[in-house]
Amino acid sequence: MATVDDLKFQEFDDAANLLAANPDATTISIDEPVEISKNQHGRLQEPGREEDDELLGTDDSDKTELLAGQKKSAPFWTFEYYQTFFDVDTYQVLDRIKGSVFPVPGKNFVRLYIRSNPDLYGPFWICATLVFTIAVSGNLSNFFIHLGKPTYHYVPEFRKVSIAATTIYAYAWLVPLALWGFLMWRNSKVMNIVSYSFLEIVCVYGYSLFIYIPTAILWIIPQKVVRWVLVMFSLCLSGSVLVMTFWPAVRDDNRRIALATVGTIVLLHALLAVGCLAYFFDAPELDFPAPIIPAHNGTTLITKS
């Protein structure tokens, strides 16, 4: 029978003091999951890899995972499920586009901009715009190149739109699918800290194609040098965004496989640019200014090349 004193409310001491008084007592600690993981990551990190935090995105990845789990809960046959992929505002889309064009060294595009909210609006409409931009610019460029010739009859070349559409949409969807499958396979062999979902990869690829839109418009200029400089420039910009995104995902793997993966990503990106340039834009004619050749008797002779 408990005494009256036992039934009175007692202030409990701090857990540390109680434990000091009774070291063998069983204890249960209930901590917030975020804090636990933060402590764990803190212990696992070596001091030299602090600057990689931003690339890895480990500090709040758990929090964002929780948030992501709460969002996409509608079953896939309802309309609301697909609405979660379009849950972006205008300023967010513009920010993501800006992030794909101006890569900040050391910042990961996915972590900085996507933050577990991958959208399908950007990839879809950037690809659509790119398809029509390439077709229209190619048509215009060919028109200006062949303008003076008497035998040239302008054709709208509408077939090329469907070819452009197939190529660009295949690139924007099949390459991320292959890359995602490859990364999943490597994940099962080597424990990578960073892994991306399929939609995040599609997002990165879609937004990285944005730089080709102004490039395609500038390709109307019929100078070979200008076109190749543009190719190099846009490839560097968007290629660096892709490299900085995917390097942390393969870094912990075998060195050669990591380099091969990143190299393939850049190579495919370059192939797309060069292929579009070669197929949709005719080569500009060599158009040197008329050289002046001094003839023997002092008069100048002007020849057209």
Q: Which residues bind another protein (CB under 8 A)?
A: 79, 82-83, 85-86, 88-91, 93, 121, 125, 128-129, 132, 136, 139, 153-159
Q: Minimum distance between the CB of residue 31 and another protein, rounded to whole angstroms?
A: 38
Tokens of 189: 């062999």
Q: Which is nearer to another protein, 136 or 277 (CB)?
A: 136
Q: Minimum distance between the CB of residue 90 and another protein, rounded to whole angstroms?
A: 5
Q: Minimum distance between the CB of residue 164 and another protein, rounded to whole angstroms?
A: 12
Q: How far is CA 197 from the centre of its chain?
A: 12
Is residue 235 left, alpha or beta, with left meaning phi > 0 and alpha meaning psi from -120 to 50? alpha
Q: Minimum distance between the CB of residue 163 and another protein, rounded to whole angstroms?
A: 10
Q: Which is nearer to another protein, 17 or 166 (CB)?
A: 166
Tokens of 155: 């054709």
Measured distance between the N- and C-terminal CA atoms of the chain, rounded to whole angstroms? 116
Report whether 74 contacts 80 (CB < 8 A). Answer: yes
Q: Minimum distance between the CB of residue 162 and another protein, rounded to whole angstroms?
A: 8
Is residue 18 left, alpha or beta, with left meaning phi > 0 and alpha meaning psi from -120 to 50? alpha
Cβ contacts of 43 within 8 Å, gap of 6 or more: none
Considering only CA atoms, give the Rg of the chain: 29
Q: Which is nearer to another protein, 213 or 250 (CB)?
A: 213
Q: Minimum distance between the CB of residue 302 and another protein, rounded to whole angstroms?
A: 29
Q: Which is nearer to another protein, 153 or 304 (CB)?
A: 153
Q: Which is nearer to another protein, 102 or 154 (CB)?
A: 154
Q: Which is nearer to another protein, 145 or 266 (CB)?
A: 145
